[in-house]
Chains A and B, each alone.
Chain A
Amino acid sequence: MNRLAVELPGLSLKNPVMPASGCFGFGREYAKLYDLNVLGAIMIKATTLEPRFGNPTPRVAETPSGMLNAIGLQNPGLEKVMEEELPWLAQYDVPIIANVAGSTMEDYVEVAKHISKAPNVHALELNISCPNVKKGGIAFGTVPEVAAELTKLVKEVSEVPVYVKLSPNVTNIVEMAKAIEAAGADGLTMINTLLGMRIDVKTAEPILANRTGGLSGPAIKPIAIRMIYEVSQAVSIPIIGMGGIQSAEDVIEFFYAGASAVAVGTANFIDPFVCPNIIAELPALLDELGFDHISECTGRSWKKGGPTVYCGA
């Protein structure tokens, strides 16, 4: 028995650990360091209809236990991703989750229609939550009706299951998740980055050229855990969890909160071997915790009537 294997819509994963979108490019760089076949899946960089240069630099700034990024969805565009990146990735026996972005609903639909036809793309991840693009992006991710409408349109054209990536930059994430589930999404991925900002003490200028950026890394982990805990109890579609994961223990914590698989983002920059290392460490941790299979961990914090949410005071 493979204790790490998980089955999700469209995805038969040999293990539940995958690099998060935007933190792994299209895999070429990390392929120089290790065999990508060890990964459960790969979430590729956001793809838009046309090539995008993205934002001016500086595009990253460090924060306590985290970082801000304002890459601005730089990518080579649908055509190049279809003709060069996806065929290159096809040499690996790893399902690809294509992160889809756009400025208009039509953009999303167009990219989804084509990219879902690629043989190694087993699922789409709708990026309705990027905080770094002027038009679209986060607007799609903050109004439930708009997110639901987009989900529906993409579902109509996609040949593979559709996961929607939730933005944490909302007041009520449960309402958002429910609207997206009702619109037909096959799964959720969460969380994207939190909108943040840093200012240089010497110059009084924002450090990022874009002024604001998305916060990621260990700093956001408690927020991701809380949101997955809330959402997983309110929907019945599976969740791929992310936000600050650095270790096998972190992975288990995300499962306990309600995730069925996880993605690792920023930690790849700090330790390029973090994904294979976590995968290698998980079986021993399952032994230690007394689980036969990792899926037993999903929702553990609330399924066994665990502690209720502390609401202050």
Chain B
Amino acid sequence: MKTEKMTIVHHERIAKNIYQIRLAGALVAEMNEPGQFVHIKVTEQANPLLRRPLSLCDINKEADECTIIYRAEGAGTTLLSQKRPGEMVDVLGPLGNGFPIEAAKTGQRALLVGGGIGVPPLYELAKQLVKKGVSVTIVLGFQTKEVAFYERKFASFGETYVATVDGSYGTKGFVTDVIDTRITSFDVLYACGPKPMLKALEQKFPNKEVYLSLEERMGCGIGACFACVCRVPDSETAYKKVCSDGPVFKAGEVVL
């Protein structure tokens, strides 16, 4: 964990309001786990003030580059989307604990489920799992066709299904609709996306090994401010911090 002014080497809009940014810098040497995130300051000014947490989507150690995919929505991400290659961004990271690769053994099958802007970290995860010899099945959920991305990139790792809420692409409905009709078996489930999706998956597979990546509003991003806590089952005072204990938790470890 360090801060670095990383250089933007590539920046592209890949779907409606969805941007892919590639950053170069020495910090990449410290990035290892899929599901870890970086905390990005998009301006040197005091407004917008806070850093924005964004997941690592692809880590390329040979080139000292990492890729992030984000949705330009509010003030911070909109400003970020206006930056051009050659400009710098202030990055704090890598932060948090990512998806455990070791949970899936060589020869086993992993199911990767992503919703919306929860999809990006699954890319590095799929890459590392496949490299280890784990088969992957991927289910991606988006609101509409317009905001869908990376289907073909995921397809190079394994069977990939897409669901859209409005039915404009793939299966109409949610990721769980795809899972109900298409997925027969898997050993480990990894998921990242909106809380209702994570809850549905946790309830659906109570006897499976399930890892969920959570999202919470953050201050520091490193565990010091207590902004991002969630409860631990059966306790009044126990807690976990999403930024430093997570963002990936084993299902049941925290209350969703």
Q: Name B49's contact: one of A30, A32, A33, A65 (CB within 8 Å).
A: A65
Q: Does A191 contact B (CB under 8 A)?
A: no
The proximity string for A residues 14-46 relative to B, scoring 1 for CB distances below 8 Å and 0 otherwise, is 000000001111001110110000000000010
Residues of B within 8 A of A218 (CB): 46, 49
Q: Which residue of A lies closest to B222 (CB)?
A: A29
* A77 surroundings in chain B (CB, below 8 A): 237
Residues from chain A with a CB closer than 8 A to the CB of B3 are: 271-273
How far, in Å, is B94 (CB) from chain A's closest CB? 13
Query: In the bound complex, what is the Cα–Cα distance between A280 and B244 (angstroms)?
Result: 29
Contacts between chains A and B (CB distance < 8 A), count: 103
Residues of B within 8 A of A53 (CB): 229, 231, 236-237, 239
Q: Are B220 and A269 in contact (CB under 8 A)?
A: yes
Contact B217 A57, beta carbon cutoff 8 Å: yes
Q: How far is the CA of A29 from the CA of B245 in the complex (A)?
A: 12
| Distance to closest chain A CB from B26 (angstroms) | 16
Instruction: Known A33-B1, A59-B226, A71-B226; judge A217-B49 contact (CB<8 A).
Output: yes
In the complex formed, the residue of B with least CB distance to A25 is B224
Interface size on B, as a range, is 20 to 34
Whether A59 contacts B50 in the complex (CB less than 8 A), given A268-B224, A270-B41, A272-B92, comes out as no
Shortest CB-to-CB span from B128 to chain A, Å, is: 25
Say whether B194 faces chain A, with CB atoms less than 8 Å apart.
Answer: no
Q: Within 8 Å of chain B (Cβ to Cβ): is A197? A: no
Residues on A with C-beta less than 8 A from B47 are: 64-65
Q: Are A67 and B219 in contact (CB under 8 A)?
A: yes
Query: A54 on the interface (CB 8 Å rule)?
Result: yes
B138 to chain A, nearest CB (A): 29
Knowing A59-B226, A269-B225 are in contact, say whether A29-B49 is a contact too (CB < 8 A): no
- Chain A interface, DSSP helix/strand/loop, else mixed: loop
B69-85 CB mask vs A (1 if < 8 Å, else 0) is 00000011000000000
CB nearest neighbor in B for A64? B47
Question: Contacts A53-B236, A60-B217, A272-B92: A25 and B46 contacting too (C-beta < 8 A)?
Answer: no
Total A residues in contact with B, Cβ cutoff 8 Å: 39
Bound Cα distance from A63 to B51, whole angstroms = 13
B-chain residues with CB within 8 Å of residue A30 when the two chains form the complex? 222, 224
Please indicate the chain B residues that have their CB under 8 angstroms from the CB of A59 in the complex: 217, 226-229
Docked CA distance A272–B220 (Å): 8
Which residues from 142 to 179 on chain B have a C-beta closer than 8 Å to any C-beta of chain A? Answer: none
Q: A52-B237, A269-B50 are in contact. Are A29 and B224 (CB under 8 A)?
A: yes
Taken together as a complex, chains A and B put the C-alpha atoms of A65 and B75 apart, in Å, by 12
CB closest residue in chain A, given B75: A62
Indicate whether A119 reaches chain B with its CB closer than 8 angstroms.
Answer: no
CA–CA, A12 and B41, complex, Å: 35
Q: Which residues of B contact A32 (CB under 8 A)?
A: 1, 222
Q: Give a binary string over B226-242; 1 marks a CB under 8 Å from any A CB, 0 the rest.
A: 11111100001101000
Please state if B50 and A29 are interface contacts (CB–CB under 8 Å).
Answer: no
Contact flags B46-66 to A (C-beta < 8 A → 1, else 0): 111111000000000000000
The answer to whether B49 and A66 have CB atoms under 8 Å apart is yes
Specify the chain A residue showing the minimal Cβ separation from B244. A29
A-B interface, 5 closest residue pairs, ranked by CB to CB distance from nearest: A25-B224, A65-B46, A51-B237, A29-B224, A269-B220
Q: List 25 A-B contacts (CB under 8 A).
A: A23-B220, A24-B224, A25-B223, A28-B223, A29-B223, A33-B2, A53-B237, A59-B226, A60-B50, A60-B217, A60-B225, A62-B49, A62-B75, A65-B47, A67-B219, A71-B225, A71-B227, A74-B229, A269-B50, A269-B51, A269-B220, A269-B221, A270-B50, A270-B51, A272-B92
Residues of A within 8 A of B (CB): 22-25, 28-30, 32-33, 45, 51-54, 57-67, 69, 71, 74, 77, 217-218, 246, 266, 268-273
* Contacts A29-B222, A62-B49, A67-B219 known; 6 new A-B pairs at CB < 8 A: A33-B1, A33-B2, A59-B217, A74-B226, A268-B220, A273-B3
